[in-house]
Amino acid sequence: MMQITIERVTINDIQKLQEIGRNTFFETFAEVNTAENMSDYLENSFSDEQLKTELNNQHSQFYFARVNGKVVAYLKINSGEAQNEKIADAIEIERIYVSKAFHGKKVAQTLYEKAIDLAYEMQAKCVWLGVWEENHRALRFYEKNGFTAFGKHSFWLGNDEQTDLLMKKELGNTHKLKTS
């Protein structure tokens, strides 16, 4: 039986965060982007300096998903000023990235449920995210979980301007927290 555990990432976990971040982004997007743009993005977005800044931001939180003790995925949420688009009374799911070997094994769903629990704890009225318009697997996942498109914004991968669909889910007044 596969056991998924979720734990908060701390500044002491920076190497593990770099590794899972770079690996999962590469697995997801390398086939459809140039090597130069991938290299640029992976170097800059997962540098020690960048991750330290993000981990020290009081409005951002990272979580690892572990299966049998091994980090296989991670979640990043933003609130307040850390959001890429400033939306009042909302939290942003900036990243849910899962190692390819664990696709379809409920790891993403477990991280998503953690994000929703956190949104309710923070008394957010909605959860939103940006997802690349060509990432059909992610689009289906978020649509299945009740998200609807409400706009678009640009995302730069190296020198390539890509379009993210902005999606949101309104939260109701009641929520049963998961115990994980």
Q: Which residues are catalytic?
A: 142
Question: What whole-number distance in Å separates Cα of residue 157 and Cα of residue 79?
Answer: 23
Burial of 62: CB neighbours in 10 Å, binned 0-12, 13-18, 19+? buried
Strand partners, 31: none
Quick one: CA torsion of 49, 26, 6, 141, rounded to 10 degrees?
A: 130
If residue 41 lies in a helix (H) or strand (E), which one and from where to where? helix 35-45
